[in-house]
Amino acid sequence: MQRWILPILITLLVTALEAKDSELRSKDSYHPFREVSSPEAWETRAASMRQQVLVATGLWPMPTKHPLHPVVHGLVERDDYTVEKVSFESFPGHYVSGSLYRPKNIKRGQKIPGILCPHGHWTNGRYHDHGDKFAKELETGAEEFPSGRHPLQARCVQLARMGCVVFHYDMVGYADSIQLDHRKSSMPENGLFSVTAELRQQNLMGIQTFNSIRALDFLEGLPGIDHDRIGVTGASGGGTQTFVLGSIDDRPDLLFPAVMVSTAMQGGCVCENANYLRVGAGNIDLAALAAPRPLGITGADDWTVEIETKGKPQLKQLYSMLGKRDHFDVFPFLNFEHNFNAVSRQAMYGFVNKHFQLGHGTPIKERPFKPLSKDDMGVWTAAHPAPSFRGASHEAALLDWWANDSDLQLATLRARMADNAQAAADYVDLVGGAWETMIGRSWDEVGQVSHELTLKEKATDYLLMEGTMTSMAHDESVHVRYLYSEDWNGEVILRWASPDEAETFPNSAKFIQDGFALVTFTDDVSKATMNRPEASAYTFGYNPTTFARRVHDMLTVVKGMRQLSDDWDVTKVHLHGNEGGAAIALATRYLLRAQAFTGEANVSLGDMRFAKVSTLDDSWFVPGAVKYGDVDSLLLLNESF
């Protein structure tokens, strides 16, 4: 190999960003399961995905759990079960409401299963009534009895009749959840879905997921609940709530998400999308985080119609590999449209009966029941008035509390770092882990890099070359250009330069004279392409940010260098940068912290702060950056090794 073809000494010109933008993934893209080869590989991937879900939902760190202050009232007696009205505080001042179904005739001291039932986007939520559509349900066999006109109630009634305590709770903005709207903010400038909130990774999905966590706390706190038999089941958006809760909380022992797990449409609502959630993953992957716990899913004539061939084989293989093949099943009822009807509910009952060993004969058929009226279910009464704190004032207070709680947790760790090794390690794990998720690519994940040289020109004391480096695992190419000193000292300097900088490498003559190879990269991207402008999660829930892609490109080049190190020994790779380039350098250096060749960071941040971003399509928009300390935390992380 001739010395001049060494492509480890590179100046990057990122010319493929527009092409990458045209290939943006969306909720409607194809999202296949990313298979693994061993239980150990799955354990590693599962841990990474759990962290990804927690960061995405704004629950990393987990918000402080304050007392629930539960209120249970309004007992309604039925033949073999009872129903009560429930409210409790998930966040301080923010209420979760719902209906609590309990079986009658429970023996003293008997431990009974508990089931959470999130409802999904059915009209009026917990109050849902099929109305005029019900005649067709009876005609097609989707429902058997007139009471099936209330299918959400039917699920809870039957589970209670089977001997389970069931908590059927409201999604944000549905039924008695009246403090926030489900799909829009009361504060467009700095409320949910704004740049301000997204920079702190505050989103509706996070609020709803924390509500589910606190609902589980409430359920486990009830007398007689068997903590080894806790289940969660919901359909559609309730299916999303089911597998998302199961992905980050190991207390559910059984999960049954209906008509939601698929390689196709991933969830159409803002409550089902969050920045980073499905970058490199999809609903099959997220549902798989239940493994090896029992997982049952249904398919219908909707986006889940291909579940038997796209999803089932992969999940079946995973459960088999983990030695729990009988813990997974799929129930495809493809002759019905999107539903959680009596047919699919019957499959769920059988699944619960089997894995919770309830001892009922099968098949388990529903019986007619007397539906609850809205007055029967309504949580807010004269004796238990609805919270007056709602709308913009409540949204502001909730977001402020969430931000302050997170800031306090991080500040406490940061203050103890100097004299407490464990606090320092915890800070790095938490903040460094968040940045790893937000960047979304590790050194190992870059994979093999191919090289193609396209230009070589000799100058007085250096060689100018250009070419292409491609991360083969990700099919991402970077146009490269470098200045190679004739008296190369074995050290390389990488630097990003903004398009408007007159000189891409200040003091280049001195560096070349001192024997360094000079590496720069730039691009002409000023705004990020958005899938849908109303919420960044529809874009960055599926695709890396522009900042992350710039870091990916730098990693690709460094990996290309190292793969040629047998022929040309790179002793050090130093990272330089000003303003945004400094942030890229610091992020990349942190990801390279375990590599022996990692050199110094020579950066000048100036007044660059992610907090200064004012629009969702700014190329420096990085959701969560402010939550995790902005560029100052990148400096601190670089000082930790």
Tokens of 529: 């392409």
Q: Model's pTM, two decimal places?
A: 0.94
Amino acid letter, residue 229? R
Using alpha carbons only, give the angle 600, 605, 609 rounded to the nearest 5 degrees: 130
Instruction: Classify the C-alpha dihedral 383-389-391-397 as positive or negative.
Output: negative
Query: CA 340 to CA 296: how far, in whole Å?
Result: 13
Tokens of 514: 């001192």
Angle between helices 312-321 and 39-56 (to 10 degrees): 120
Instruction: Using pLDDT thresholds of 50, 70 and 90, give the confidence band for residue 71.
Output: very high
Give pLDDT, residue 566.
61
Helix/strand/coil (H/E/C) assignment for every residue in 136-198 = HHHHHCCCCCHHHHCHHHHHHHHHHHCCCEEEEECCCCCCCCCCCCCCCCCCCCCCCCCHHHH
- Which residues, listed in sequence order, are joined to residue 389 by a DSSP beta bridge? none
Our CA dihedral for 623, 626, 632, 636, rounded to 10 degrees, sits at -80
pLDDT digits (tens, 9 = 90+) for 157-177: 999 999 999 999 999 999 999
Domains of the chain and any CATH numbers: 3-23+458-638 (3.40.50), 79-369 (3.40.50.1820)
pLDDT digits (tens, 9 = 90+) for 135-165: 999 999 999 999 999 999 999 999 999 999 9
Tokens of 156: 């809870």
Query: CA 583 to CA 576: how far, in whole Å?
Result: 10
Nearest alpha carbon to residue 276 among 286, 288, 289, 287 = 286
Nearest alpha carbon to residue 394 among 628, 78, 93, 630 = 93
Nearest alpha carbon to residue 83 among 66, 96, 98 = 98
- The three-state secondary structure class of 59 is coil
Question: What burial class does residue 316 get, using C-beta atoms within 10 Å of its C-beta: 0-12 exposed, 13-18 middle, 19+ buried?
Answer: middle
Give pLDDT, residue 1.
28
Give pLDDT, residue 18.
34
Tokens of 106: 């429970």
Q: What mean pLDDT comes out for the span 415-419?
A: 90
Amino acid letter, residue 370? K
Give pLDDT, residue 452.
87
Mean pLDDT of the chain: 92
pLDDT digits (tens, 9 = 90+) for 336-363: 999 999 999 999 999 999 999 999 999 9
Beta carbons within 8 Å of 402's beta carbon, 6+ residues apart: 58, 63, 91, 200, 202
pLDDT digits (tens, 9 = 90+) for 238-271: 999 999 999 999 999 999 999 999 999 999 999 9
Q: Which residue carries 């890229």 as its tokens?
A: 584
